[in-house]
Amino acid sequence: MVIMEIFITGLLLGASLLLSIGPQNVLVIKQGIKREGLIAVLLVCLISDVFLFIAGTLGVDLLSNAAPIVLDIMRWGGIAYLLWFAVMAAKDAMTNKVEAPQIIEETEPTVPDDTPLGGSAVATDTRNRVRVEVSVDKQRVWVKPMLMAIVLTWLNPNAYLDAFVFIGGVGAQYGDTGRWIFAAGAFAASLIWFPLVGFGAAALSRPLSSPKVWRWINVVVAVVMTALAIKLMLMG
């Protein structure tokens, strides 16, 4: 019973951290709407959370005792990062032309029918060549979103704050065994949240791809990022 309570507490804390529209969530939503590289982005987010939660659970005591200033540096770095992200979102929301994610439609490549008599072999070869080029493009389309997910996760100071201050710090209250159960609950929240957001955005891709809708999404992102930055300031 105690184990389940600790697990659920970690799950709820993890969910509360994920509910704020951070850089990872924005990228997952965008790639879901575009239906492009979503699986790669989800894998990066989930695998990164595994390593971050393990590092936070193992390292919070070391940082708190040996180098407490590191937590302060991460906190102010997170504040600067969140405010920068808020400014960028507000700027996008205020521009006259909002760049909404575009849906990627899968279409069969076509070749003009005005092929001269006896040129069927040439037309067939052209179609095959076009199909190969399209196939190569589809294979590479996940690379850029994956790299962006890595950058937004590992260069985001707020991710380290979540892992060390919230997951590691709160989990340490439950002892050597309990903190790992707590971290497992937090990861379970990520395991539910990211696929839900990504595939949900894909299912609602048409209404969400509207520039007007995306303008309001940027407004919400700017407000939430500013609120999180203020919250981190007050923690000091």
Domain boundaries, the chain: 2-99+121-235
Closest CA to 168 of 43, 64, 75: 64
pLDDT at 4 over 60: yes
Mean pLDDT (whole number) for 29-45: 91
Q: Which pLDDT band, with edges at 50, 70 and 90, does 34 fall under?
A: confident
pLDDT of residue 134: 44
Report in angstroms the alpha-carbon separations of 128 from 55, 104, 134: 49, 22, 10
pLDDT at 122 over 70: no
Closest CA to 236 of 79, 17, 60, 18: 79
pTM of the model: 0.66
pLDDT of residue 197: 93
Q: Which pLDDT band, with edges at 50, 70 and 90, does 136 fall under?
A: very low
Percentage above 70 pLDDT, the chain = 72
In this predicted model, what pLDDT tens digit does every residue of 161-202 receive, in sequence order? Answer: 788 777 887 787 788 899 999 999 999 999 999 999 999 989
Beta-carbon count within 10 A of 92 CB: 19
Contact call for residues 20 and 156 (beta carbons, < 8 A): no
